[in-house]
Every structure is written in structure tokens, then in C-alpha cells.
Amino acid sequence: MLKQVLVCTAFVMMAMVNPLIAQQSAPTSEKAKQIEVLVDKAAALIESTGKAAFSEFRKKDTQWFNGDTYLFVYDLKSNVLLNAAFPAREGTNTTGQKDANGKLFHHDFIQMAESKGSGWVDYMFPKPGQTQPSQKWAYVKAVTVDGVPSLVASGFYPE
């Protein structure tokens, strides 16, 4: 009995220490594949041109920003460098901010970029133009923006 309690406690502690273990499986839809390609292309552009790429990412009805698909960029200290759909967030720090379910999703973005280089994070976030949160998946990739370790990401709302 003691052994079962210890094993169960160990699993609970692992889930608490590393929330990436506890999240759902990464999406495999066609939309998810498109988001990965978009973020990879954006990362390559950022690596070659730095913040100069941001003006392209802000343009609506382009490959970078279309409907509820848009890019966002944070440095690894949680400072928002770019958010095409929510520009008022730029220049803010997201440390400690939680989604509607209490998840520290910005922390998870950074942890994903630092630990794996790229990957998927799920969370609750409003669609552009809305205030009610919806489930969202974001593909996050580590980049360097003008010498600053950062991440670029985009996501989608599964229906």
C-alpha cells in the first residue's frame, strides 16, 4: 500500500513540476500542419531580418495574418514584442497571467521554446474581436530577435 501511495505521489509531483507532461496530445490536423509551416517561415524571416519582419506580420489578409490566424512574438522574459491581432499587448509583460482555466500559458510558451526548441501548447484565449475564451492551440518556436532570445508562435481554434 505504501508503495502505491509513493508511486501515485511521484506522478502527481511530476505533473505539477512539468505542465507540458500533463497537457493534451499535440494536434495533427491539416490546420496544425499549416500553422507549423507558417511559424517556421516566420522564424526564418525573423532570424534574417529581426524586428524589421514585424511590419509584414501586422498586415491583414496576408499569409502572416488572415482571419483568426496571426503571429505573436515574446522574448523569454515574457515581454510581448509583437501581437498582430492584439497590438495593445505589445510592450506589456505577461508574467503571471493565466487563461480562463488558471493555466500559466505564457510560462508554458517560454518553457517549450527553452526546453524543446518548438512544440504545441494548449490554452484558453479569446478569438480576435471576441471576449469569451475558446480553446486554442499554439505552435511555439525559439528564435533570436536582434540578438535577444525569443519565441514566435501562431495558433488556431479547433472547432
Strand-pair partners of 140: 119, 153
pLDDT score recorded for residue 117: 97
* Residue among 19, 26, 9, 1 nearest 111 (CA): 19
pLDDT score recorded for residue 126: 86
Strand-pair partners of 143: 150
Q: Is 52 helix (H, G, I), strand (E, B) or coil?
A: helix
* Residue among 122, 127, 151, 149 nearest 137 (CA): 122
pLDDT tens per residue, range 129-143: 889 999 999 999 999
- What grid cell was written down for 34? 499549416
Superfamily holding 30-156: PAS domain (3.30.450.20)
* Backbone phi and psi for residue 69, each to the nearest 5 degrees, phi listed first: -105, 120
pLDDT tens per residue, range 26-57: 788 999 999 999 999 999 999 999 999 999 99
Q: Which residues of the chain have pLDDT under 50?
A: 2-23
Residue 112 CA to residue 100 CA, distance in Å, equals 20
pTM: 0.82
Q: Where are the domains of the chain?
A: 30-156
Instruction: List the 80-83 sheet strands across, edge first.
Output: 80-83, 71-75, 148-156, 133-145, 118-126
